[in-house]
Structure 1
């Protein structure tokens, strides 16, 4: 089994050997940077387009074999003196594929003999055939004393001028070797891409998809950096060609961050680094905005600055590795190789180390090794997952066996407990059944008590109402008896008179005198008044009896047609004597109310209960007797095509809180003092109204009063 140390050593060994194999091969190049002269840019020559205008300008010889002209948005000029005899027929190659616009002038004794262009800004149809992926320009065969090659360049990235003069055969041979190298490189990249894409569809792990995106970004970056996008004519749009290097740089950074955050599980294992890498998306967003806006060089600088965050991968990989994640070790090795390759690549651009094939191809070699090692890291992740699953299965099996043993023991204990509990529940159930029967009996007794209380109230009212007319009739009968005795005496005196008697006149005088003594005129008037009182008492008695016919079926369940106004009137008659000391009852009955199908006796019980409660509520206030009142109104209402008869019973009593109002229909809930109510009155009322499909609404305000609104559907 290959260890992590072996992977680390092998990776760096392959990297070093690959680099030095280029250095020692025939592929090694000789660059002529030390013969180049660079134009000192000034306001006078910055926009010059012809080398003839620059002959008298100041030129500075380069000290490097490969001069780095920096990342400037201005055009730059360089020139190379050629030997018109030795160099004739050869080509000037600029071995740097990412210069966006390149113009090369061949000047013979101050006369421009040829001008050729290359770069991303040149449309595909106008591009000249090149010998390879690097731009090359033929040296004309001219008879002249001084032959000079002028190079004018502009790019949205840094400009490096690795210039050499070689024959066509040498350029083709070197290009072929370079093509073979990159064919192997892209073969590795494509193989890893297909392999990891297959694994993604197999295991559905997003790490593989993110790694595939990372491979595409890294491979695409090497493709455009080495000019193969133009060799294969992959990009036809000059607009996109100017930006493609920047785009792949941004994608490489973004997909690297995405892959690192998820592969290393930074959210759980290194939350601080997870946030830091999240913030690193921001500069790439700014770089993209600058790129779209046309600030190519600023975007390039932003991408390079953002890429410095790559050094954070070392400490975060070590942290995750130490937490026990084996795959983080492979991750660390891969990125160390890549960081080393990037460092070598950057140092050679700035002339700190030699610019040769070893340093030039350090980046693709390092990226290839990195991609392979990261694939091993993902493979390690799969092995680790398999190992974890195996351990989990073994633990699950052990736990299952233990649970099975515990379950058997628990089942035995449970059966014993169930048997004991069943016995207890049986006894408890019998006790509860007995208690339930007692509660039902008590409830029926309380309901009957409430009904008897209503009947007692009814009986007291009836007795009082009947007692008044009966007492009046009794007292009137005594007075009538006395008056009729006086009349009888006069009638008997008149009856014995003889019409033909000589003493008739005197006898009549005696009778008349007696009538005056008895005050017969007053007696007759008194008789009329007493008889009128007797008639009134009889009518009141008949009215009471009429009301009693309704109340006589208070417990009945049969329905009949009845008039709400009549039911309320009969109820108020019965309650008249009980309410006279409590409150005034004011009525406002709507005329011509239609009859409803109902149980009249039970509705009278409803009205009697609510009106009695309303009157009693007024007595709990500070109002004097003349100010206490209960208003009873009826009306016919049309609502959404439906008709209702509404009964409005309003008092100016103490009112009630929302808490009491919400409980007022609960059985055994009462607002009265202890011993003053059963708490079933309004509960029975609610049940009766529900039986009639009627609704009841309560509006109440403390110290203002309460309104009961009953609605009966027709």
Structure 2
């Protein structure tokens, strides 16, 4: 074999050996000295883009080489929807078989831990995450703790399936039982001290607010409380102690309290800095920040991922506005702005560190993960100094402030006095309106009672009118069958015919009105020339009107008709003929011999509907006996009927109600004017166009 072949074989062997060393994961040895182990250098990662693989898939031989060994510290993949599988190999070289693996990421949505059974034939699974009820966790702890059981002298492979809409950070630590207890105690102690400090600061500043009534302290207290709840939610303590069963709320509580803290920070900053008049855009800037964070609270109810993206941006914008305002106030000579400006600079540093850590741009550690919360603690202290400095400044201006307060009180007293006077006037005015309303209501009640009496009378009349011809018909049939009268007697036959026609008219009118009022009737509209159509109507009714000795002159057209243009209207000829029939019937019935009935048409230009050019007002005028003023407002009402000489009609009482409905279908209106003893005019309108 030549030197070249030997060299080539050596190179290939070296590459193969190097590749194997890179991809192979090291087994974590657990011996008697192992009490705590950072698993970051030992875990293997497999991204599952579609989240479709199962434990059987990833533990199969086909996926054995798909996992990649983690390089560096705790993995951090930023905000992603990708599901990640983690694999770790553990070998127990001690006589201790029970261990604990801690996932230090309380906001993780789903974390499923797969451990082999003792016979290594199937998988045990522990499902947890902040999208699952807290009581389902294998250990009651703010973190995710998974039990690890390995027989002495054996090696086991464990899998962890992770899914989250938040930051995908995978800090895994292995503990033995004793060390885990110590770690948990220290962990809870640290958080307890921090939260206790914050609570003490909140209570202290609340006491100052109660004493001084300085609203800056109130907003500062609310800001502290919001930050306390943000930390409780972020660390998992709130899920453990405050709302362990509220899964939906727990997943969104971090963003909710972050947005709430931003809002209170804006109110605190605006009240503390008092920049109005110094910075022109001060009000718009603060309103914009409040609206932005409030919008996130609304978005949070529908989309957690979108709200998560927006809260980071809103926090940066809010802090930027506050820092800019503090800087400008510091430049203007406002001394308390020194501590205020420094506090927010410290805070924004923590925000950037936490955001870059969540995005995977900075390595994961306790400092980088909790930078936001740690700098918040420093910020709260500095803000307390700022408030104290402001109080000292206020004391120096106490005399001027007291004088201003006195003047303000005087103005307020004057204002309250004027407001009381205005209130008394309004109360008096309101009392008068209520009195008038009661009078109107009583009047309307009287009218309704009268209308009810009219309706009852009409129903009585209808019952009578229906019953009378039916009784007569029954009597005629009975007497004809008994041979008392001749069944072909012309006189009796005419009487029967008139009763049948009356029944038919009553039934037809009732049926027609029901169809009109229910909208179950169709109109066959056609375009007519108003002038020619009115002439046709006049010809149609001329004989019926004049046979009673009543004059019926040619129609008159009032108003200015458009020159060289026809006046057109869309009408249903049959229905409008019914309208004219009802109107002429009433007019003829109440106009004595020698009187007159006339048609007057007036065309007005302009209409409220842009589809029309004008309105035709058609008047049916008679010289009859007129209508009682008490009855005039009710003549178009359904069931109105008055069977005496002053009434409009002694018929069914439905004709004018049907007429009104037909006119309404034609987009018109109808009304009447009358003077007793002089006659009645009934008007109705139709929309028209000019061509």
* TM-score, scaled relative to structure 1: 0.47
Would you tell me which structure has more helix in proportion to its own residues?
Answer: 1
Bigger Rg, which one: 1
